[in-house]
A and B are shown apart, each in its own frame.
Chain A
Amino acid sequence: MAESNQNGHVETGRVVGIDLGTTNSLVAYMQGDSPVVIPGADGLNLVPSVVALDPVPPEGGRPTVTVGNTARKALIETPERVIYSVKRLMGRGLEEIQSELKMFPFRLADDVESGEVPRITLGELRFTPPEISAYILRQLKRNAERFFGSPVTQAVITVPAYFNDAQRQATKDAGRMAGLEVLRLVNEPTAAALAYGLDRAKEGTIAVYDLGGGTFDISILKLRDGIFEVQSTNGDTHLGGDDIDNLLLTIALDEIHAEHGVDLRSHPGAVQALRKAAIDAKISLSTDEVARFDIELPNGDRYQREIPRAVFEMLIEPVLERTAGPCKQALADAGITADQIDEVVLVGGSTRIPAVRQLVDDLFNLAVRGKKPHIELNPDEVVALGAAVQADILAGASKTTEEMLLLDVTPLSLGIEALGGTVARIIQRNSTIPASATEHFTTGVEGQTNVAIHVVQGEREMAADCRSLARFDLRGIPPMSAGLPRIEVKFLIDADGILKVTAREQRSGQAAKIEVKPTYGLTDEQVEGMILDSFDNAEADFAKRLLIEARNEAETILSAVERAPRSPAWKLLTGEELAAISAARDRLQAVKIGEDDKAIREATLGLDQATRRFAELMMEAAVTTAIRGKTMEAANEDLGEAVTAPHPMAAAEFK
């Protein structure tokens, strides 16, 4: 879909697909007739959803923000300047996130008031969750721009199917702040189905089981002639691999405290290092029968522990069991039984756990019917690939996807608070979107000119038990006798799953003014004020920016390599490795002076690859150091938000 813009440049108008995940984020696009993930400058597909604030430069000014693997490295050394899993906070109010604060080291700004969007402290600055997500999105945007060598301004972003209105709006806001026009929010399981549905002209009913880092979704879809019609969806926006990590971490912390008298909870760096060890253990248990912790503690003791897979599976059973209820509800809502599911698609890193696969097998009677779940596409990438397919559909320019159409549903019922605090449901859950409902309201008092309406989302009978979406004030109603005005209010859930409201007073023909006050969310003006840098959108500067960025990246790695010989890890490298690093460094220094951003990037990548083993050795050393507590003395932080989650298993059983 090439079109000329005013400057006479030919714009490819590419739309990218973005998976903005709890743990990792990815950007993908449609290359010919198949979706492909776009790698970052480090050559890797996954961008960890970690954002770090670099130290304030000595000459002053605003500190820079780094995203991804670089930010993750800072997690152990300067945890107070780093944030991860921010997706858990998107679109949520202060009261709702209290439980998250126990499990995650989110440092809330202390001046946030109830009803405001919470802000997170990173070093000297404070950010709302959409701003943090915007930094991740901007990184992905830049990765794509580097890859194409041209600006990218439009995207499809995926969200958990079970995200509510506020969480969706927050994601869209983040896109806008990052300089992206979000053409569509797509539900993650549905995106996965699109990725799988591309190369097979299948008909039938499929279930997508998506257990990611922080969220769980189940969707049931009917495929027919290229139409992907979602029948039902269910889930839990706070259930995922993070919960398993926290379980292992809590147990390790408790054991270390009980057996060695060392309380690591007050050392965020050590907690992060231990979390990394717990994640490694979890991952290895998907292939190995036993995982081992062997960690040196500040007092010189060693915390050594073997975790057999059977014990691990027993520990995580309550977490996994929480996915069964939503699956059964989704089947019931679709009006089918497990045996009517033709195929099951597994999505999300947590579905690599054998116990998860077993649970899915049991839930959908797969083995007994001679079926296997689909795992052909990388479960970490499949959502981004599907987002790229949807992006291609929206771009409307490709033969591959012209017959495809996705019909998705709203995951939660929409209702309005009626007399007595009950909920009058106006749009049922699992209604195909866009969906609308029209309601009529009147006044209760003579001459009344305002009517207040409270909109909620959820399945409970009482409004107080549902998620408060927004309060609307219908204003400017002409004064009449009580009950005479007839105000028609139209509620419309758009294709992104976001509510829009319009109102009209029918007797006078006057359009009633509506003041929409989302219960949690940013106003348009606030979002405008948070747009990252308008520089990003200036096309004329684009080539210049690519060059500057390429040089900056080159500088970053060169200065790291210059400092490297001071690290003990340097001495572990072989002569061959040292020679390779030196050659790659010389090459980068030579091309850096030139104007060719592509050559600079290639050379940067070359040096990055040459130093990869060194980086791994450094990471290992940093983990050990952090647990010994050395880094913490430097950080000198006393944090009350360390992990305090209760765990069901006594320490003694963890052997």
Chain B
Amino acid sequence: MFNVLDSAVPIECWSCSLGHTHSTLFCPHCSKIQPPPGGDYFQVFGLRHAFQVDLSALELEFHRLSRKVHPDRFARAGENERQFSLADTALLNDAYRTLKDPLTRTEYLLKLEGAEIGEEHSGKDRKDVSRVPDDLLEEAFELNMQLEEMRMARKTGEQDPQLQADLEHAKQKFDGLLGAVDEDLHAQWQVWDAGDEPVQSAAQDRMVALLNRRRYLRNLVRDVTDTLGAN
């Protein structure tokens, strides 16, 4: 059960008015559905903070909880119950969506742990927030030149097989680097999950750097793919 928040203050059930110390989805006394409990997405699934998550167990739990709280189960219930079911299910869905994807999960947990991460959703204008990683400076510069050339050539309708081949080669290379970043991230997950506080703090810093590097690489790969794709 969604035993979420260890609240010291008893919470009064909206229906039977009896207090319950644990914020749960259903009142232990009258079994009526309750408003969304506080706490984070991990607590929704009764999980401790960890970067590694058993995805098939997560899915099973998501389905089990969905069956209990989904608005379809309360279509003909009273107004309160319908509202709480809606809010609880929104929380459950938001939590599942965030935790099932390795990247959103990593970013979410890093933020919970107090790390500063570049804003994701603000789109284009924010993408340069992450500095170009030093070792990529030269190559990235060259790649951007080539991309610019390619776009110019496209405009004038020219064909440049050499440039095309260079870009495809570069895409492969950056794809490979992206894969390497993901491997490093996985390694840091394990370190953090098993480690004590100083170890975790170091792993966190490492992951933040990796995420920045990843974002930068992903944008590069996307630009190359878009430019090649427009062929």
Contacts of A390 in B (CB 8 A): 72
Whether A436 lies near B90 (C-beta < 8 A) is yes
A435 on the interface (CB 8 Å rule)? yes
List residues 422-470 of chain A with CB under 8 A from any CB of chain B: 422-426, 431-437, 461
Whether A432 lies near B97 (C-beta < 8 A) is yes
Contacts of B155 in A (CB 8 A): none
Whether B72 lies near A435 (C-beta < 8 A) is no
Whether B123 lies near A405 (C-beta < 8 A) is no
Please tell me which stretch of A124-132, A259-267, A393-401, A593-601 contacts chain B, meaning at least 4 of its Cβ atoms lie within 8 angstroms of it.
A393-401
Whether A423 lies near B123 (C-beta < 8 A) is yes
* Chain A window 396-424, contacts with chain B (Cβ cutoff 8 Å), 1 for yes, 0 for no: 10000000011100000000001010111
* Chain A window 237-270, contacts with chain B (Cβ cutoff 8 Å), 1 for yes, 0 for no: 0000000000000000000000000000000000
Number of interface residues of A (CB under 8 A): 35
* Chain A window 1-14, contacts with chain B (Cβ cutoff 8 Å), 1 for yes, 0 for no: 10000000000010
In whole angstroms, how far apart are the Cα atoms of A422 and B89 in the complex? 30
Q: A422-B124, A424-B123, A425-B123 are in contact. Are A431 and B97 (CB under 8 A)?
A: yes
A494 on the interface (CB 8 Å rule)? yes
Of the residues A394, A406, A435, contact of B90 by C-beta under 8 Å: A435
Nearest opposing residue in chain B for A419, CB measure: B125
B130 on the interface (CB 8 Å rule)? no
A495 on the interface (CB 8 Å rule)? yes
Nearest opposing residue in chain B for A406, CB measure: B72
Q: A405-B66, A433-B93 are in contact. Are A495 and B71 (CB under 8 A)?
A: yes
Contacts of A405 in B (CB 8 A): 63, 66-67, 70, 72
In whole angstroms, how far apart are the Cα atoms of A396 and B68 in the complex? 12
In whole angstroms, how far apart are the Cα atoms of A424 and B73 in the complex? 33
In whole angstroms, how far apart are the Cα atoms of A434 and B95 in the complex? 12
B96 on the interface (CB 8 Å rule)? yes
Closest CB in chain B relative to A515 CB, distance in Å? 21
Whether A492 lies near B63 (C-beta < 8 A) is no
Contacts of B76 in A (CB 8 A): 1, 13, 154, 183, 394-396
A225 on the interface (CB 8 Å rule)? yes
Contacts of B67 in A (CB 8 A): 227, 405
Q: A461-B124, A495-B72 are in contact. Are A436 and B66 (CB under 8 A)?
A: no
Contacts of B123 in A (CB 8 A): 422-425, 461
A176 on the interface (CB 8 Å rule)? no
Contacts of A394 in B (CB 8 A): 72, 75-76
Whether B86 lies near A492 (C-beta < 8 A) is yes
Contacts of A424 in B (CB 8 A): 121-123
List residues 38-89 of chain B with CB under 8 A from any CB of chain A: 63, 66-67, 70-73, 75-76, 86-87, 89
Whether A431 lies near B93 (C-beta < 8 A) is yes
Whether A432 lies near B93 (C-beta < 8 A) is yes
Closest CB in chain B relative to A182 CB, distance in Å? 10
List residues 109-138 of chain B with CB under 8 A from any CB of chain A: 121-125
In whole angstroms, how far apart are the Cα atoms of A154 and B93 in the complex? 27
Contacts of A494 in B (CB 8 A): 71, 86
A224 on the interface (CB 8 Å rule)? yes
Of the residues A154, A395, A434, A461, contact of B89 by C-beta under 8 Å: A434
B149 on the interface (CB 8 Å rule)? no
Q: A184-B75, A224-B63, A396-B76 are in contact. Are A432 and B121 (CB under 8 A)?
A: no
Closest CB in chain B relative to A204 CB, distance in Å? 15
Nearest opposing residue in chain B for A433, CB measure: B93
Of the residues A406, A436, A461, A495, contact of B94 by C-beta under 8 Å: A436
Whether B94 lies near A435 (C-beta < 8 A) is yes
- Contacts between chains A and B (CB distance < 8 A), count: 77
Whether B73 lies near A432 (C-beta < 8 A) is no
Contacts of B124 in A (CB 8 A): 422, 461
Contacts of A396 in B (CB 8 A): 73, 75-76
Contacts of A225 in B (CB 8 A): 63
Whether B90 lies near A492 (C-beta < 8 A) is yes
Nearest opposing residue in chain A for B121, CB measure: A425
B228 on the interface (CB 8 Å rule)? no
Contacts of A492 in B (CB 8 A): 86-87, 90
In whole angstroms, how far apart are the Cα atoms of A546 and B63 in the complex? 44
Of the residues B66, B94, B121, contact of A227 by C-beta under 8 Å: B66
Closest CB in chain A relative to B43 CB, distance in Å? 17
Q: A407-B66, A422-B123 are in contact. Are A393 and B72 (CB under 8 A)?
A: yes
In whole angstroms, how far apart are the Cα atoms of A394 and B71 in the complex? 9
Whether A435 lies near B97 (C-beta < 8 A) is yes
In whole angstroms, how far apart are the Cα atoms of A406 and B70 in the complex? 9
B91 on the interface (CB 8 Å rule)? yes
Whether A418 lies near B122 (C-beta < 8 A) is yes
Contacts of B87 in A (CB 8 A): 434, 436, 492
Whether B72 lies near A420 (C-beta < 8 A) is no
Closest CB in chain B relative to A3 CB, distance in Å? 10
Contacts of A435 in B (CB 8 A): 90, 93-94, 97
Contacts of A420 in B (CB 8 A): 125
In whole angstroms, how far apart are the Cα atoms of A565 and B91 in the complex? 68
Closest CB in chain B relative to A436 CB, distance in Å? 4
In whole angstroms, how far apart are the Cα atoms of A225 and B56 in the complex? 14
In whole angstroms, how far apart are the Cα atoms of A437 and B90 in the complex? 9
Contacts of B63 in A (CB 8 A): 224-225, 227, 229, 405
List residues 489-538 of chain A with CB under 8 A from any CB of chain B: 492, 494-495
Contacts of B121 in A (CB 8 A): 424-426
Closest CB in chain A relative to B103 CB, distance in Å? 13
In whole angstroms, how far apart are the Cα atoms of A217 and B91 in the complex? 28
Closest CB in chain B relative to A456 CB, distance in Å? 13
Whether B86 lies near A434 (C-beta < 8 A) is yes
Closest CB in chain B relative to A438 CB, distance in Å? 10
Closest CB in chain B relative to A395 CB, distance in Å? 7
In whole angstroms, how far apart are the Cα atoms of A424 and B121 in the complex? 6
Q: A407-B66, A420-B125, A422-B123 are in contact. Are A183 and B86 (CB under 8 A)?
A: no
Of the residues B73, B75, B93, B125, contact of A434 by C-beta under 8 Å: B93
The 6 sampled A-B contact pairs (Cβ below 8 Å) are A13-B76, A424-B122, A426-B121, A435-B93, A492-B90, A494-B71
Q: A13-B76, A424-B122 are in contact. List 16 more A-B contacts (CB 8 A).
A: A154-B76, A183-B75, A184-B71, A227-B66, A393-B72, A395-B75, A422-B124, A424-B123, A425-B121, A425-B123, A431-B93, A434-B87, A436-B87, A436-B94, A461-B123, A494-B86
Name B's A-contacting residues (CB within 8 A).
63, 66-67, 70-73, 75-76, 86-87, 89-91, 93-94, 96-97, 121-125
Name A's B-contacting residues (CB within 8 A).
1, 13, 154, 183-184, 224-225, 227, 229, 390, 393-396, 405-407, 418, 420, 422-426, 431-437, 461, 492, 494-495
Q: What are the 7 closest A-B residue pairs judged by CB atoms, nearest first?
A: A394-B75, A434-B90, A436-B90, A495-B71, A432-B93, A183-B75, A434-B89
